[in-house]
Structure 1
Amino acid sequence: MLDQLTEPAREVALVVGSDGPVSRIVCRRLAAEGITTAVAGPSAQRTALYGKALADERIRALPYQVDPGEWDSIDQLVTDVVADLGRLDVLVNLTAATPRSDTAAEWSRVLNVNLAGAYRLGRAAARAMAGAGRPGRIVVLTPGERPGGEGGPAAGVSAAGVASLVADWARLVPSPRITVNAVTPEPAADPDSVASAILLLLRTDARSVTGQSVTVPGPDVLR
């Protein structure tokens, strides 16, 4: 799909881990701002189809494959995006593993993807942003109960871990011009509201907001 990019990207966003409604809303609104989007997920075929669907909507989107539990794969993803598109300005991490069974192996897998993988992805993106000397925005969707998703103890633990990670991470990024925040949807939160919270944290005038976890309430709270 690279031959479809007829001019250099003005800004580049990387959206990882979901082709659901939140991802689609975020990609559409980024495209409206003229931002080229790379979308990445564990299934090459599914991500390619998602990239094609976005392209059909006239959204500049390129598909990439990544294993969110493998650190080498995560590093390679960021390297490839920067090599292909010339820069990286925004990372939106929607990755969320949920346990398939109540076993030690499943707990380990979920925490590895949701915590260790999130850290590695954010660190790789922050280094790319800092190396270019530009401002950067990183937003992580906490892996608890999500719109249309599942929860569970392992997901809840990793959600709390991501909130703690983001608070510490904001002090450790290699440039004060890079912000790191989280969005935490309550059960049955509206996807449009979740996407709006993510996009709010990506705005230029949110450059002083970092290390925060923004909660998006569910419908019971909003009544």
Structure 2
Amino acid sequence: MSDTPALSSLTALVVDGATGPGRIVSIRLSAAGLRVAVVTVEEAVGATYLCKELAELGLTALPYRVCPFDADDAERVVSEVTEDLGQVDILVDLLPEDGFHEPATALGRAVLNGMAVAGHAGRVMVLRGASRRHWETVLAEHPSLSLDLIPAPGAAVDGDVADRSGLSTAEAVLLLLGIQP
């Protein structure tokens, strides 16, 4: 018998969850029965429409907008997600590392702290990149959480041609969670 909880009992927070691979991941996680927080860092219109479409199908997904570098805003979003959907079990951070996004932003730290306080095993899924060591260092403080590194859109995977659609990114997240893409 497995200790793995049923997907329908889990809550996932998908950062950049309304566009590109994040949209695919949000839809598929919701369709698999997870409660999904679709988090955007810019406009929330896309997330709102996506969540409305999913609700019409009887699925649970709610939109949230956050400034990932503002600790108070991050705490607010994590609190709202926890109140609305339950404790976050899976963090899928699909923001690219560039001049805008830094590893383990205030939002990432707020989610990690919330997951660790609950004391249960959780998963953190982030785009593979230069921040690997940083995430490993941050997660060393939370031994109940595991780290999965996923390929970034446009990155070649195992020598294959780069997939610019983000499909391989979404597929990696789904496969790591045991969901067939």
What range is the shorter-chain TM-score in?
Answer: 0.7 to 0.9
Match of 1:35 in 2: 34
Name the count of aligned residue pairs.
163
**In the alignment, structure 1 residue 120 sits paired with structure 2 residue 106:** yes
Q: State TM-score, norm by structure 2.
A: 0.76
Residue identity opposite 2:88 in structure 1: L
2 CA distance for matches of 1:69 and 1:35? 27
**Please, which runs of 5 or more residues in structure 1 have no aligned partner?**
1-8, 99-109, 143-158, 204-223
| Higher mean C-alpha deviation, range 14-23 or range 185-194 | 185-194
The alpha carbon displacement at 1:164 in A equals 2.4
Alignment partners' CA distance in 1, 2:17 and 2:34: 18
Post-superposition CA distance 1:69-119 (Å, at most 9, x none):
322212211111112222111111112375xxxxxxxxxxx2xx4215x34
Report the equivalent of 1:19.
Answer: 18
| Aligned residue identity for 1:14 | L
Relative to total residues, which structure has the larger helix share, 1 or 2? 1
Do the aligned partners of 1:66 and 1:77 also contact (CA within 8 Å) in 2? yes
Query: What is the correspondence of 1:1-223 to structure 2 with a 5 Å cutoff?
Result: 10-41=9-40, 42-96=42-96, 110=99, 113-115=100-102, 118-142=104-128, 159-160=129-130, 162-173=131-142, 176-185=143-152, 186=155, 187-203=162-178
Give the greater-gyration-radius structure (CA).
1
Aligned to 1:6: none
RMSD value, Cα: 2.5
Deviation (angstroms), 1:165: 1.4
* Partner deviation per Cα, 1:30-51 (whole Å, 9 max, x = no partner): 2233111111113133321222
Amino acid at match of 2:166: P
CA–CA distance in 1 between the matches of 2:37 and 2:150? 20
Q: For residues 169 and 202 of structure 1, do their structure 2 counterparts lie closer, same or farther at Cα, with a shift above 3 Å needed?
A: farther
- Residue 68 of structure 1 and its aligned partner are, at CA, apart by 2.1
Partner deviation per Cα, 1:134-184 (whole Å, 9 max, x = no partner): 211111125xxxxxxxxxxxxxxxx41x222123233222xx221123223
- Structure 2 unaligned segments of length 5 or more: list them: 1-7, 156-161
Q: What amino acid is aligned across from residue 52 of structure 1 in structure 2?
A: K
Q: Percent identity?
A: 34
Which of structure 1's runs of 4+ aligned residues deviate more than 4 A? none
Quote the Cα distance in structure 1 between the aligned partners of 2:45 and 2:23.
17
